[in-house]
Amino acid sequence: MNFAEERDKAFIKAVVCDDWKAVQKYSKKYGVPMPKKRNVMKAGVYKAVQYCTNIPEDVKVLAMQKCMELGFNPLIKPYEPQAESEDKE
């Protein structure tokens, strides 16, 4: 099983079964830092699920609902670089 397949399997198990052991094991194996606050960690996974191309749509919808129940926006905002301030001259 490759990196992405292992991630997707762990994410699906977390979203559908609320079983976070596979996510914790995955994060340790690959050195992925996880937030200490459980709700923040869950929201991060729920958000990430939205961008995994091989996760089924019904799992994405469930992840979106769970993320919103935690009070988080279920989507990741696109990165917009800040213009350099004119003060730095």
Q: What is the pLDDT of residues 62-82, one digit of tens each?
A: 999 999 999 999 998 877 788
How far apart CA 55 and CA 11 sit, in angstroms, is 9
pLDDT at 84: 72
10 Å CB burial of residue 51 (0-12, 13-18, 19+) is exposed
pLDDT at 67: 97
pLDDT at 68: 96
- Amino acid letter for position 28: K
Tell me: the pLDDT tens digits for 16-52?
Answer: 999 999 999 999 999 999 999 999 999 999 999 999 9
pLDDT at 83: 77
